[in-house]
Amino acid sequence: MRPDQRRPLAGTRAAPDFFRLEERAEFAPELVVDVLHGRRLGVIFRDVIPEAARKESVARFWASPARRHREGEPSHYVGSYHWNKSTETYLGETAEVVAHVRGVLDVPDSPWRSFRSQLAEELARQDAVIRIAEHQGAQACPALIRAWDKAGRFALEPHEDAAQCTDPRQAGFEIQAVLDHEVCAVNMCVEHEEGGRLVIWNIRPDAASRRRLGIEHTGFSYPADALDGFDELRIDVRPGDVYVFNGSYVHAVDASTGNRTNLSFLMGFIDDRTVVSWT
């Protein structure tokens, strides 16, 4: 083992009073704006998705002809993701699947639409907008709908969402400007059986740590023993919950039983007045 591989994970840690998830029983878009500005770690809104909208989202997801599952990978999904590929590949895959994604999202009382419209109203008060990220006339995917089914200690291995925004194959894609602000993960839980807590560790790894682990442009995954000693949050997630958190902190989904189905996207400011989203 080279000496630098023994060095613990390095980076930035939040103050203890910052390192918590605010919990509310009603949606409050001003708290989401706080997360976007780095003024709070995250927020979870409990049971804010109407039951009929959840059930219809779940039914459409499992019935979708665009649902994909790769053996050895932890999820079924409808949508596309930019992780570890070129901008062109991501946007090309998005174009092929976006109508199916919209089909799953566009249920009566759509949680995706109500989140976006209420957040847009709040941002408008600050002369800011939210839109889907774009590149040379092509749009990013509006959401990725995923169900985890992986056994083991983690259903989704520890990772962070900032490293993937440094991929040289995506140079010039506007999402990379989010790194000057905060990368925020949005998740809407429409189906959940047991377990599958959200875990967040109090560490934003630096570039040198990522390089040592060979995950410079992916942020995936961090070995569990590298995370020993950092404070962690474990948050129970239930159907109907919507949560938003700063994706630069290492996070994971712990072991779950049965289906844990989420609508998700990433978002962040790219300048003082523009929030873009992607998957």
**Integer angstrom CA distances of residue 13 from 133, 206, 217, 224, 232:** 29, 11, 21, 17, 11
Minimum separation from the CB atom of position 119 to Fe ion (A): 19
Minimum separation from the CB atom of position 221 to Fe ion (A): 11
Question: Which is nearer to Fe ion, 19 or 245 (by Cβ)?
Answer: 245
Minimum separation from the CB atom of position 124 to Fe ion (A): 28
Write out the H or E segment, with its range, that includes residue 60: helix 51-63
Question: Which is nearer to Fe ion, 107 or 196 (by Cβ)?
Answer: 196
- Residue 228, CB-side half-sphere exposure with 13 Å CA sphere: 6
Characterize 65-101 residue by residue with b for buried, 16 or more Cβ atoms within 10 angstroms of its Cβ, and e for exposed.
ebbeeeeeebbbbbbbbbbebebeebbebbeebbebb
Minimum separation from the CB atom of position 253 to Fe ion (A): 9
Question: Which is nearer to Fe ion, 56 or 161 (by Cβ)?
Answer: 161
Are the beta carbons of 47 and 238 closer than 8 angstroms?
Answer: yes
Question: Which is nearer to Fe ion, 104 or 144 (by Cβ)?
Answer: 144
Minimum separation from the CB atom of position 159 to Fe ion (A): 6
First to last CA, the chain: 36
Strands 232-235 and 274-278, by their bridges, are unpaired
Minimum separation from the CB atom of position 185 to Fe ion (A): 5
Are the beta carbons of 247 and 183 closer than 8 angstroms?
Answer: yes
Question: Which is nearer to Fe ion, 53 or 267 (by Cβ)?
Answer: 267
Minimum separation from the CB atom of position 246 to Fe ion (A): 11
Q: Which residues of this protein are in contact with Fe ion, per CB under 5 A?
A: 161
Strands 198-201 and 232-235, by their bridges, are antiparallel
DSSP letters for 92-112: HHHHHHHHHHHHHH-STT-HH
- Residue 62, CB-side half-sphere exposure with 13 Å CA sphere: 11
Question: Which is nearer to Fe ion, 161 or 182 (by Cβ)?
Answer: 161
Question: Which is nearer to Fe ion, 33 or 183 (by Cβ)?
Answer: 183
Are the beta carbons of 182 and 36 closer than 8 angstroms?
Answer: yes
Tokens found for residue 34: 């706080």
Find the residue with minimal CB distance to Fe ion.
161
Minimum separation from the CB atom of position 278 to Fe ion (A): 13
Question: Which is nearer to Fe ion, 118 or 218 (by Cβ)?
Answer: 218
